[in-house]
């Protein structure tokens, strides 16, 4: 494959990234996020260094074969450097100005600047490989790691309404205490901006822990930059939801990563 080759997302690829659930692997997702109709294969491969190049090229081929990508400039592609081609940043939190929109459409670097500046919403959660059915009376335990007391209250209330069992933590000690309680939570909602520890570090530790590593973790953050989303996925997040959010999105994501209907 020519390193100067450029791919664009197809409508199918765009839909996959905008959907709240996906069956793609973490690597495929990360690649899809980077496909913007302007970046060359060589540039994308560099981002993944030291990941084996052959593995990346195979994944790109597979994405193309499955209709998620097309050659940039082709009739099937959507990539013109516009915001819509930038993956699962599905809509701006705040309406962008006309001038900003025009600038973003003209150059990919400016698009990235705009994403950084305005913030974009990412709502993505992996779909569990197998469907799970709850036994009669069985409840799903959700660990909520959120330091904003008002948002924590809102999440607790909403989870209770949906018959989940919330367990709250707001800082490092709270997380440790909550994880010591039985049963092990089925899923964690993790705010990455915490007062005394970096949430990404919490995520990494969970994903390296022999018992906790199988627990799906959905990251909740106001960090909506492409880099932040990639960091979350690279750290092993099973879902990534940017704030502010509608609480319904949380329920959908929790059910998706657990395979619940």
Instruction: Give the separation between CA 113 and CA 142, rounded to whole angstroms.
Output: 35
- Work out whether 21 is an interface residue with another protein (CB under 8 A): no
- Taking CA atoms, 120 is separated from 218, 229, 237, in Å, by 17, 10, 18
Instruction: Give the separation between CA 67 and CA 241, rounded to whole angstroms.
Output: 25
Kindly indicate which of the ranges 34-42, 54-62, 99-107, 216-224 contains the residues binding another protein, using the contact rule CB under 8 A: 216-224
- Work out whether 139 is an interface residue with another protein (CB under 8 A): no
Binding mask 227-246 for another protein (x = CB under 8 A): ----------------xxxx
Binding mask 76-115 for another protein (x = CB under 8 A): -----------------xx---------------------
> Residue 217: which H helix or E strand, with range?
strand 217-221
Question: Is 17 or 249 the residue whose CB approaches another protein more closely?
Answer: 249
Backbone angles phi, psi at 30, to 5 degrees: -60, -40
Q: What part of residues 154-213 is at the interface with another protein (CB under 8 A)?
A: 154, 157-158, 160-161, 191, 193, 195
Distance of CA 133 to the CA centre of its chain: 25
Q: Is 259 left (phi over 0), alpha (psi -120 to 50) or beta?
A: left
Question: Is 183 or 244 the residue whose CB approaches another protein more closely?
Answer: 244
The contact set with another protein (CB under 8 A) reads 93-94, 117, 119, 147-148, 150-151, 153-154, 157-158, 160-161, 191, 193, 195, 220-223, 243-247
């Amino acid at each position: 494959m020519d390193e100067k080759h450029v791919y664009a997302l197809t409508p199918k690829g765009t839909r996959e990234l905008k959907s709240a659930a996906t069956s793609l692997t973490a690597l495929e997702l990360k690649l899809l996020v980077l496909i913007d109709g302007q970046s060359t294969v060589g540039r994308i491969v560099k981002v993944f260094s030291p990941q084996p190049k052959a593995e990346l090229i195979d994944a790109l081929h597979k994405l193309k074969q499955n209709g998620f990508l097309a050659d940039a400039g082709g009739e099937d592609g959507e990539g013109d450097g516009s915001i819509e081609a930038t993956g699962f940043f599905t809509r701006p939190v705040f309406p962008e100005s006309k001038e900003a929109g025009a600038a973003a459409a003209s150059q990919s670097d400016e698009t990235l600047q705009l994403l950084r500046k305005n913030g974009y919403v990412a709502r993505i959660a992996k779909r569990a490989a197998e469907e799970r059915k709850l036994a009669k009376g069985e409840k799903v335990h959700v660990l909520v790691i959120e330091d904003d007391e008002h948002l924590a209250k809102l999440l607790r209330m909403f989870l209770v309404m949906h018959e989940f069992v919330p367990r709250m933590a707001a800082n490092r000690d709270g997380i440790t205490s909550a994880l010591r309680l039985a049963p092990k939570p089925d899923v964690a909602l993790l705010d990455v901006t915490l007062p005394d520890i970096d949430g990404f570090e919490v995520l990494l530790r969970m994903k390296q822990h022999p018992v906790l590593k199988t627990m799906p973790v959905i990251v909740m953050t106001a960090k909506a930059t492409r880099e932040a989303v990639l960091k979350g996925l690279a750290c092993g997040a099973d879902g990534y939801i940017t704030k502010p959010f509608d609480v319904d999105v949380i329920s959908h994501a929790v059910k998706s990563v657990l395979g619940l209907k």
